[in-house]
Amino acid sequence: MAVATAPGTFVIEGGKPLSGRIRTAGNKNAALPILAATLLADEPVQLSNVPRIRDVETMIELLQSLGASADWTGPNDVRVDPTGLSSYEIDAALAERIRASFLLAGPLLSRLGRASVPPPGGDVIGRRRLDPHIHAFERLGAEIEVGRRYEMRTDGLRAQSIFLDEASVMATENAIMAAALAPGLTTIGNAACEPHVQDLCRFLVSLGAEIEGIESNVLRIRGVERLRGGEWTIGPEHIEVGSFVGLAAVTGGDLTIEGVEPRDLTSILLAFDRLGVHVELGEDTLRVPPGQELVIRNDLGGQIPKIEDGPWPAFPADLTSIAVAVATQAHGTVLIFEKMFENRLFFVDKLVSMGARIIVCDPHRVVVTGPAQLYGQRLTSPDIRAGMAILIAALCAEGRSTIGNVAEIDRGYERIDERLRALGAEIERVE
């Protein structure tokens, strides 16, 4: 069964409150490393709650190109049989589509002792270093030649102490996967600990891995002889939850989000509270009450507040674009400080063309003053999260908007047009 989306354009009539119930999809950034990690097992693995998005489809194609069997067995279920793994060369055309293609390096080094990896693709949101990955692999005993491809080989990975020079999510995940079968005790310092990293660790533990320190920035991995097969349910996508909170708040709807994990939302809800968004959080649901008047909460002394991202548990970088869109509809002024990617905020010129009042201070900072009446425009999506921010702006704008290159949005949000229509949005997909 193919993904129920296709490249094209969204046509949106704005100004409609979005109300109803919506279930969050599985975490994209957990599904991708977990799919890669199935190559470490010596038996089949069954995954459920897998988001049916373009990036996941590409990862499945990559697994198949390496000799593994990987197939959808249900709308959001995938079965991977890694026993046929035979190739260590990652297809360059497929790798160009997603940055997560580099996550296959760790499992391939562990299983085959070789990995030939082309430069990865993905969002163009600024420089995204591969240095921490390479350093971790070298510490574990791999020899690496860097040219048009990353040629990696080892006679056997060995446990080692690793300190990452930045808390890179993917470098942490690659190091975890490479160390899972390496004899001895590997320690990873300054490790990323985002919810999707935790999900990967818990998945590997379910297959027999020995990992301590999950939820912290120091991981201890004792290599085991083998990882068995098993079943795993991908955790909920907290970035999607934040996106839905934003779109409900700016359209004035009464929205209940089902299947949430409250512990993953602490920093996210603090930032939305600063923008005047109030929610009702249950055990596994989150409600955005209707008709909220968004008022930015100033710092003490009436100072202009700041929303800034950072490594977990700070506010996630993937939601800074969403925060900008919500801030355009809130009374007051706020500084949005995107510290991690220098190109992520360049999309704000599209919001300005719609009527938003935004000052670009530098590649990392914008000042937003609201509320501003937004008007429909012809727009295009530059990356996943900016695309969602533009979609949120279009949903609350007056008149018609068209958003091109929606394949970018499809990479991160499953059947988003269908799901929004069920909430009352006037959105159509056209070629």
Task: Give all strands of the β-sheet with 77-81 in edge-to-edge order.
Answer: 69-74, 77-81, 45-48, 230-233
What is the C-alpha R_g of the chain?
Answer: 21
| Rounded Cα distance, 288 and 310, in Å | 25
- State the CB neighbour count (10 A cutoff) for residue 234: 25
Residues recognised as catalytic: 123
| Rounded Cα distance, 23 and 130, in Å | 34
Backbone angles phi, psi at 244, to 5 degrees: -70, -35
Q: Closest Cα to residue 240, out of 328, 318, 343? A: 318
Using DSSP bridges, classify how beta strands 20-23 and 255-258 pair: parallel, antiparallel or unpaired: parallel
| Rounded Cα distance, 11 and 394, in Å | 9
Backbone angles phi, psi at 173, to 5 degrees: -65, -40
The two tokens of residue 429 are 């997909």
Q: Distance of CA 211 to CAs 3, 7, 82, 217, Å? A: 34, 40, 22, 13
